[in-house]
């Protein structure tokens, strides 16, 4: 705990009870609902936070609107310079922030560091982007005319993020949006507000050093009610939401009803296909990282393993040798590979899913126990499970945010594997392990994987920030992070300029008056 306290201090967190911030100014009021934050690592209370009210949210939005008027006028490369400084601050605090991510969320320290690295990387990406917010020019059909498009900032953007990537997903959205000239209001998961408070301190330092106004980076700590209020608020032209499909459908509906824009990054039901031409060594490593990494709590976690009958028994045997040897325990300790689940509800969902797969006719081959004893005092530690199942089982069709891998056998050609693969409602990430070109190219073709991410000889999780991240179908269709995902944070304007002395109409229309 001394170490945790030191870390909180390093991150600027002295008093931990604000319900949000409009930049430097921390909202505080004693009459707020207080929520205790319990670490999944040891079950200890780390802190209490207060939950924001709708009045607080209103104040934050008003401040952000004022900040937007200033910020949108700052030239984009100068906005990039601010993000460069944020990236530098993140580098300085990488270890402390990584540890806090681990302690608050439960992912192993290596992954906590990895998450902060994603933030640093997206800052670098955003700095470069700040000089590349390109629009196209096009030739007009009319003489002495010129056409082009420009991208303008949108306004205050609402960012709703989930517990499993408590800081990286914020940074993918916010660093891009801020470079695009928007201001951001961040509602982190109420399960992981401390890492958010730490990030707010980090950006505040940069904002202060550069004499910038309140309201560019804002934080609001609240529950689903605040998320709903953000979705309904027409002053927020874009809501970017990451989380469950259930949450995303609500956000999408409410934002859609006011014809706002939403960027949804929701549940996945990601599969790896292992064909008879796979390098099994690679396939097994990728499968284990994908299914037990982050204790199965990535939206990109591997949930289904679709294996050709000729290699099915071998794959199964290899996995069954590895699973019982996995180091499960304190995620801050070196050597641990699997940390705890986020909370008791997750443990319940894990148990229920394993119960259900058996009721539907599946078979649990390994794992499924909840660990007991002093080392597992939080009660959130489970043994990752493998179950033989059929793709059409209701439970296999459902995203359970826990380390359960469903083994599914296929016969025949890769087409068979793909039809099982695509036969789920979600469409986030996918992978094939094969050294056969016909199979891998089929997988990547229009008839292949229907997911937003499709990998060859790489697992389903651990995408790089440089690509656009997101998926199709019930995953929500949004794209965040790299490539041209920035465009959603801006409004596109088509400009046509007439430098001639006539007024010709488009489409050759004659309209003589």
Whose Cβ is closer to ligand UN1: residue 385's or residue 463's?
A: 463
The beta strand positions in 320-471, using DSSP E, are 363-366, 385-388, 404-410, 426-427, 429-433, 453-456, 468-469
Residue with the closest Cβ to ligand UN1? 463
Write out 168-204 in H/E/C secondary structure. Answer: HHHHHHHHHHHHCCCEEEEECCCCCHHHHHHHHHHHH
Q: How far is the CB of 165 from ligand UN1 (least distance, A)?
A: 5
Whose Cβ is closer to ligand UN1: residue 64's or residue 429's?
A: 429
Residue 399 annotated in active site: no
Whose Cβ is closer to ligand UN1: residue 237's or residue 243's?
A: 243
Whose Cβ is closer to ligand UN1: residue 54's or residue 250's?
A: 250
The beta strand positions in 197-281, using DSSP E, are 217-220, 238-242, 261-265, 270-274
The beta strand positions in 192-255, using DSSP E, are 217-220, 238-242
* Cα gap 400→254, rounded to integer Å: 25
What secondary structure letter does DSSP report for 335? T
Catalytically annotated residue among 118, 214, 265, 439: 265
Q: How far is the CB of 509 from ligand UN1 (least distance, A)?
A: 50
- Count of residues in the chain: 513
Q: How far is the CB of 259 from ligand UN1 (least distance, A)?
A: 27
**240 contacts ligand UN1 (rule: CB under 6 A):** no
Site stretch for ligand UN1 (CB under 6 A), options 7-15, 28-36, 346-354, 459-467: 459-467
**68 contacts ligand UN1 (rule: CB under 6 A):** no
The answer to whether 27 and 17 are in contact (CB under 8 A) is no
Whose Cβ is closer to ligand UN1: residue 89's or residue 115's?
A: 115
Whose Cβ is closer to ligand UN1: residue 12's or residue 467's?
A: 467
Compose the 290-319 pattern: x for residues touching ligand UN1 by CB under 6 A, - for all others. Answer: --------xxx-------------------
**179 contacts ligand UN1 (rule: CB under 6 A):** no
- CA distances (Å), 320 to each of 228, 315, 340, 366, 432, in order? 44, 9, 21, 7, 21
Q: Report the C-alpha dihedral over residues 403, 406, 407, 410, rounded to 10 degrees.
A: -140
**266 contacts ligand UN1 (rule: CB under 6 A):** no
Rule CB under 6 A: choose which of 462, 467, 498, 504 binds ligand UN1: 462
Q: How far is the CB of 461 from ligand UN1 (least distance, A)?
A: 4
Q: How far is the CB of 168 from ligand UN1 (least distance, A)?
A: 6
**475 contacts ligand UN1 (rule: CB under 6 A):** no
**Smallest Cα–Cα separation from 312: which of 289, 278, 353?**
278
Whose Cβ is closer to ligand UN1: residue 277's or residue 298's?
A: 298
**269 contacts ligand UN1 (rule: CB under 6 A):** no
**270 contacts ligand UN1 (rule: CB under 6 A):** no
Taken in order 346, 352, 353, 354, the sign of the CA dihedral is positive
Q: How far is the CB of 264 from ligand UN1 (least distance, A)?
A: 12
**203 contacts ligand UN1 (rule: CB under 6 A):** no
Under rule CB under 6 A, which residues in 207-236 are in contact with ligand UN1?
none
Whose Cβ is closer to ligand UN1: residue 23's or residue 476's?
A: 476
**59 contacts ligand UN1 (rule: CB under 6 A):** no
Under rule CB under 6 A, which residues in 354-413 are in contact with ligand UN1?
none
Whose Cβ is closer to ligand UN1: residue 382's or residue 428's?
A: 428
**What is the C-alpha end-to-end distance of the chain, expressed in Å?**
82
**Smallest Cα–Cα separation from 376: which of 333, 324, 319, 321?**
333
Token pair in block for residue 160: 């709703």
Whose Cβ is closer to ligand UN1: residue 156's or residue 296's?
A: 296
The answer to whether 214 and 223 are in contact (CB under 8 A) is no
Under rule CB under 6 A, which residues in 135-174 are in contact with ligand UN1?
164-165, 169
**32 contacts ligand UN1 (rule: CB under 6 A):** no
**Smallest Cα–Cα separation from 418: which of 393, 392, 439, 395?**
439
**Smallest Cα–Cα separation from 80: which of 176, 223, 208, 222?**
176
Rule CB under 6 A: choose which of 19, 102, 242, 400 binds ligand UN1: 242
The answer to whether 261 and 238 are in contact (CB under 8 A) is yes
The answer to whether 108 and 339 are in contact (CB under 8 A) is yes
Q: How far is the CB of 459 from ligand UN1 (least distance, A)?
A: 9
* Cα gap 430→441, rounded to integer Å: 14
Q: How far is the CB of 440 from ligand UN1 (least distance, A)?
A: 20
Q: What share of the chain is helix, strand, coil (3-state, %, to 5)?
A: 40, 20, 40
* Cα gap 5→9, rounded to integer Å: 6
**Smallest Cα–Cα separation from 406: which of 313, 304, 308, 312?**
304
Q: How far is the CB of 431 from ligand UN1 (least distance, A)?
A: 12
The answer to whether 57 and 220 are in contact (CB under 8 A) is yes
Sequence-separated (6 or more) residues with CB below 8 Å from residue 74: 181
Q: How far is the CB of 53 from ligand UN1 (least distance, A)?
A: 28
**120 contacts ligand UN1 (rule: CB under 6 A):** no
**Smallest Cα–Cα separation from 37: which of 56, 23, 50?**
50
Contacting residues toward ligand UN1, per CB under 6 A:
164-165, 169, 242, 298-300, 461-463
Which residues form the catalytic set?
265
């Amino acid at each position: 705990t001394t170490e945790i306290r030191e870390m909180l201090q390093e991150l600027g967190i002295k008093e931990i009870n604000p319900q949000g911030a409009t930049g430097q100014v921390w909202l505080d009021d004693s009459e707020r609902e207080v929520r205790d934050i319990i670490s999944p690592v040891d079950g200890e209370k780390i802190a209490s936070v207060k939950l924001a009210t709708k009045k607080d949210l209103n104040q934050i939005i008003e401040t952000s609107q004022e900040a937007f008027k200033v910020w949108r006028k700052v030239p984009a490369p100068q906005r990039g310079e601010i993000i460069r400084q944020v990236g530098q601050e993140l580098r300085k605090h990488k270890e402390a922030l990584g540890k806090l991510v681990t302690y608050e969320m439960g992912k192993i320290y290596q992954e906590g560091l990895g998450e902060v690295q994603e933030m640093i990387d997206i800052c670098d990406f955003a700095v470069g982007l700040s000089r590349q917010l390109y629009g196209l020019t096009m030739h007009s059909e009319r003489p002495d005319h010129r056409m082009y498009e420009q991208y303008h900032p949108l306004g205050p953007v609402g960012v709703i993020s989930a517990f499993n990537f408590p800081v990286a997903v914020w940074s993918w959205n916010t660093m891009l949006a801020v470079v695009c000239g928007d201001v951001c209001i961040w509602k982190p998961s109420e399960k992981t507000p401390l890492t958010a408070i730490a990030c707010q301190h980090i950006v505040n330092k940069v904002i202060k050093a550069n004499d910038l106004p309140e309201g560019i980076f804002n934080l609001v700590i609240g529950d689903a009610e605040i998320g709903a209020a953000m979705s309904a608020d027409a002053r927020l032209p874009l809501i970017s939401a990451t989380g469950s499909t259930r949450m995303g459908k609500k956000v999408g509906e409410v934002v859609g009803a006011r014809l706002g824009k939403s960027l949804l990054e929701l549940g996945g039901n990601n599969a790896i296909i292992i064909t008879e031409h796979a390098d099994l060594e690679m396939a097994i490593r990728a499968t284990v990282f994908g299914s037990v990494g982050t204790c199965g709590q990535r939206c990109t976690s591997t949930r289904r393993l679709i294996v050709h009958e000729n290699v099915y028994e071998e794959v199964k045997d290899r996995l069954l040798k590895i699973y019982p040897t996995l180091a499960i325990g304190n995620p801050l300790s070196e050597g641990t590979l699997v940390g705890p689940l986020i909370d008791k509800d997750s443990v319940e969902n894990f148990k229920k899913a394993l119960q259900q797969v058996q009721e539907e006719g599946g078979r649990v081959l390994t794992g499924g126990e909840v660990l007991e004893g002093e080392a597992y005092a939080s009660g959130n530690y489970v043994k990752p499970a493998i179950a033989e199942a059929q793709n059409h089982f209701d439970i296999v069709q459902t995203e359970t945010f826990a380390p359960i891998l469903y083994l599914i056998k296929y016969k025949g050609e890769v087409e068979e594997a793909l039809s099982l693969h695509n036969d789920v409602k979600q469409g986030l990430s996918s992978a094939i392990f094969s050294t056969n070109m016909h199979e891998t190219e089929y997988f990547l073709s229009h008839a292949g994987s229907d997911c937003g991410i499709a990998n060859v000889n790489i697992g389903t999780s651990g995408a790089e920030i440089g690509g656009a991240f997101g998926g199709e179908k019930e995953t929500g269709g949004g794209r965040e992070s790299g490539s041209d995902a920035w465009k959603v944070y801006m409004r596109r304007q088509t400009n046509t300029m007439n430098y001639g002395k006539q007024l010709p109409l488009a489409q050759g229309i004659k309209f003589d008056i």
